[in-house]
Amino acid sequence: MAQVHVINHPLIVHKLSLMRDKYTGPKEFREAVEEISSLLCYEATRDLPLKEVEIETPIAQTKVKFISGKKLAVVCLLRAGLGMVDGVLDLIPNAKIGHIGMYRDPDTMQPVEYYCKLPTDIASRDVIVVDPMLATGGSAIVAIQFLKNYGVQNIKLLSILAVPESISAIQEEHPDVDIFCASVDEKLNEKGYIVPGMGDAGDRLFGTK
Ligand code: PRP
Ligand code: URA
């Protein structure tokens, strides 16, 4: 079964508190999303394989280690996932980036896909999927299935908020995908919003409400 890693480092907790505050504007919200994403990415990449290489320092010959293994891609779920991309790229600047457009039908809460552009070699890469909100989990579940259909074998999911419902749903559909998030909140309300949550992440990032 995939693991859920709730990263409650004080730096993350502090920035998340700023994001939850309804008086925090888009600029500060965007900055906090980017910074939290870097910190989550740091944890999510803890198991990257290393290979030993012999080099010369100015003083002596020595063996050092470099990251090896498959190349990485970041796949962001539009719109809100866009806010996380730069934070991840700060740590993995050579990652290729894919976009999957998905919005949640407000009546049915079902994800509707409207766009998909992935690196052509996506099947040969390990993928970090970014979306700040896992509410019902529907959007992430569909996006991950998409990537698996393209042949991707190793996927991690980076998010900011989840709830027990989304975690169970994702674990059931994709038991191989580890989830990294900053908090598992209490529940969903009747409109499918995370409680206490931070509101509509896309609107808060882009100031559209
Ligand atoms: C938000 C969020 C997730 C989705 C989560 O996107 O970014 O993709 O909701 O909900 P779910 O887990 O129930 O599927 P939204 O549909 O609001 O689209 P937007 O990012 O374009 O605003
Ligand atoms: N999508 C959001 O942006 N926020 C929620 O609380 C739930 C889904």
Q: What pLDDT, on a 0 to 100 scale, did the predictor assign at position 178?
A: 98
CB atoms within 10 A of CB 166: 26
Q: Whose CA is nearest to atom 7 of ligand 2?
A: 193
- 30 catalytically annotated: no
Q: Whose CA is nearest to atom 3 of ligand 2?
A: 200
Give the residue among 198, 141, 129 at the shortest CA–CA distance from 175. Answer: 141
Dist. CA 22 → ligand 1 center (Å): 18
Give the residue among 141, 144, 161, 160 at the shortest CA–CA distance from 152. Answer: 144
> Measured from the CA of 201, which atom of ligand 2 is nearest?
3
Give the residue among 72, 178, 180, 94 at the shortest CA–CA distance from 131. Answer: 180
CB neighbours of 195 closer than 8 A, spacing ≥ 6?
163, 185, 186, 187, 188, 189
What token pair was written down for 91?
């740590």
- 21 catalytically annotated: no
The response to whether residue 192 sits with its C-beta less than 6 Å from ligand 1 reads: yes
| Upper half-sphere CA count for residue 6 (Cβ side, 13 Å) | 11
Dist. CA 103 → ligand 1 center (Å): 6
Q: What pLDDT, on a 0 to 100 scale, did the predictor assign at position 164?
A: 98
- 203 catalytically annotated: yes
Burial pattern 108-135, b for ≥16 Cβ within 10 A else e, equals: eeebeeeebebbeebeebbbbbbbbbbb
- Which-ligand-closest: CA of 157? 1
Give residue 17's region: left, alpha or beta (phi > 0; psi -120 to 50): alpha
Q: What pLDDT, on a 0 to 100 scale, did the predictor assign at position 18?
A: 98
Q: What pLDDT, on a 0 to 100 scale, did the predictor assign at position 20?
A: 98
Give residue 47's region: left, alpha or beta (phi > 0; psi -120 to 50): alpha
Dist. CA 194 → ligand 2 center (Å): 6
Q: What pLDDT, on a 0 to 100 scale, did the predictor assign at position 200?
A: 97
pLDDT in tens, the chain (209 residues): 779 999 999 999 999 999 999 999 999 999 999 999 999 999 999 999 999 999 999 999 999 999 998 899 999 999 999 999 999 999 999 999 999 998 888 888 888 999 999 999 999 999 999 999 999 999 999 999 999 999 999 999 999 999 999 999 999 999 999 999 999 999 999 999 999 999 999 999 999 98
Alpha helix stretches (DSSP H) within the chain:
10-20, 26-44, 82-91, 138-149, 164-173, 201-206
Contact at 8 Å (CB) between 74 and 95? yes
Q: What pLDDT, on a 0 to 100 scale, did the predictor assign at position 90?
A: 98
The response to whether residue 199 sits with its C-beta less than 6 Å from ligand 1 reads: no
Q: What pLDDT, on a 0 to 100 scale, did the predictor assign at position 70?
A: 86
